[in-house]
């Protein structure tokens, strides 16, 4: 009886974000996560991130469809929290968009989504990864990657988010995973909040430059495996990065993406950018920011993920 009453509730109107067109968007389908990674921006105090805020499957699907049509969204990135906690919903919702991808922590298995990209987060070789993501996580993710049907047509990339803490492991990480059944390895760098002067963030970006150059070197060594664009990485160097971010995101092309966070009462809420509300743009390490700027400058389309 209770089930019936819930099913017959009218669907809520899609959240009003005005009429602006957004070719791409990101949706946090849940605020819940089974891990508590030390670098995670999602659960920062300034973000709408209370796990109690929920949106049932039917409402979320109808909201996503309405927002797609209103804003011309062609590409949707599914995130969380951990999106695979709502796997059934994500597999249905991904088909609403011309292009869809999932970023997952890989501990619930790797979803089979032929033709789509699944990015699996691993933050370095086992000891460095597990110091960030939790004991035993590296092996769990490895098992998931090897258990999948590698011929199912899903594009599977590993992504390492580089912080000051795990930076020593870049080369060893690539050596460890180079023969795994994956499409490639991607790197992105830490996005700190404004008051973040802890052990993860670089205060002086000239120190980060040394690490960026090491990523360029692994790209040179493994050009097919490492899906990074050297030109974009060079734009991240300290003497020019501000040109592509701005002190407060004013030059950042990623702000053309609509970030949909789960807000109060099961509504969507928009944050300042995909990385939430409290971000230090002058120290932003999001690879996608510099890759978008690179292609914008070159007048070329940003390649489909995994195609660098």
Binding residues vs ligand SF4 (CB under 6 A) = 33, 35-37, 40, 42, 80-82, 105, 191, 245, 249, 252, 254-255, 273, 275, 279, 281, 284, 286, 289
159 binds, among ligand SF4, ligand SAM, none (CB under 5 to 8 A by kind): ligand SAM
Q: Is 187 in the site for ligand SAM (CB under 6 A)?
A: no
Handedness of CA 88, 90, 91, 92 (dihedral sign): positive
Contact 137, 127 (CB under 8 A): no
| Residue 277 and residue 47 in contact, taking contact as beta carbons nearer than 8 Å | yes
3-state secondary structure of 75: strand
Residue 252 and residue 244 in contact, taking contact as beta carbons nearer than 8 Å? yes
**Stretches 56-64, 79-87, 233-241, 245-253: which one binds ligand SAM (CB under 6 A)?**
79-87
Query: Could you tell me the smallest distance in angstroms from the CB atom of residue 236 to ligand SF4?
Result: 11
* 104 contacts ligand SAM (rule: CB under 6 A): yes
Residues from 231 through 270 that contact ligand SAM (CB under 6 A): none
With H, G, I as helix, E, B as strand and everything else as coil, classify residue 24: strand
How many whole angstroms separate alpha carbon 12 and alpha carbon 56? 11
Q: CA 284, CA 236: separation in Å to the nearest integer?
A: 9
In the bound state with ligand SF4, the residue whose beta carbon lies nearer, of 14 and 235, is 235
For residue 156, report the phi and psi dihedrals to the nearest 5 degrees.
-120, 120
Our CB check for ligand SF4 shows the closer of 123 and 308 to be 123
DSSP single-letter state for residue 240: T
Nearer to ligand SAM, 14 or 227 (CB): 227
Which of 15, 32, 40, 168 lies at the binding interface for ligand SAM (CB under 6 A)? Answer: 40
Residue 202 as a binder of ligand SAM (CB under 6 A): the answer is: no
The answer for residues whose C-beta is within 8 angstroms of residue 39's C-beta and 6 or more apart is 123, 132, 161, 163, 165, 190, 200
From 11-19, 38-46, 175-183, 258-266, give the range in contact with ligand SAM by CB under 6 A. 38-46
CA pair distance 81, 212, nearest whole angstrom: 28
Instruction: Give me the least distance between CB of 257 and ligand SF4, in Å please.
Output: 9
Which range touches ligand SAM (CB under 6 A), out of 8-16, 37-45, 49-57, 202-210? 37-45
Per-residue DSSP letter, 66:
H
Residues lying near ligand SAM in the complex (CB under 6 A) are found at 33, 39-42, 79-80, 82, 103-105, 121, 159, 161, 188, 190-191
């Amino acid at each position: 009886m209770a089930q019936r009453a819930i099913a017959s509730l009218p669907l809520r109107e899609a959240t009003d974000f005005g009429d602006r067109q957004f070719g791409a968007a990101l949706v946090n389908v849940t605020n819940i996560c089974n891990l508590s990674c030390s670098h995670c921006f999602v659960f920062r105090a300034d973000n709408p991130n209370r796990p109690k805020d929920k949106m049932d499957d039917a409402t979320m699907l109808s909201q996503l469809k309405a927002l797609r049509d209103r804003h011309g969204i062609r590409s949707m990135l599914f995130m969380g929290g951990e999106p695979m906690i709502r796997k059934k919903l994500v597999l249905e919702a991904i088909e609403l968009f011309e292009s869809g991808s999932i970023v997952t922590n890989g501990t619930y298995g790797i979803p089979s989504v032929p033709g789509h990209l699944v990015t699996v987060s691993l933050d370095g070789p086992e000891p460095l990864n597990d110091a960030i993501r939790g004991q035993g996580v590296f092996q769990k993710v490895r098992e998931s990657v090897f258990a999948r049907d590698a011929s199912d047509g899903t594009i599977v990339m590993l992504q390492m988010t580089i912080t000051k803490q795990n930076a020593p492991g870049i080369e060893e990480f690539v050596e460890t995973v180079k023969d795994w059944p994956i499409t490639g390895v991607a790197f992105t760098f830490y996005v700190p909040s404004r008051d973040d002067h802890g052990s993860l963030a670089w205060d002086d970006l000239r120190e980060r430059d040394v690490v960026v150059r090491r990523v360029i070197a692994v790209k040179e060594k493994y050009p097919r495996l490492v899906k990074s664009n050297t030109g974009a990485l060079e734009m991240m160097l300290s003497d020019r990065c501000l040109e592509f971010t701005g002190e407060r995101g004013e030059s950042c092309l990623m702000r053309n993406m609509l970030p949909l966070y789960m807000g109060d009462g099961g509504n969507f809420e928009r944050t300042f950018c995909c990385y939430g509300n409290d971000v230090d743009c002058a120290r932003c390490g999001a690879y996608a920011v510099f890759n978008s700027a690179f292609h914008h400058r070159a007048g070329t389309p940003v390649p489909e993920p995994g195609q660098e």
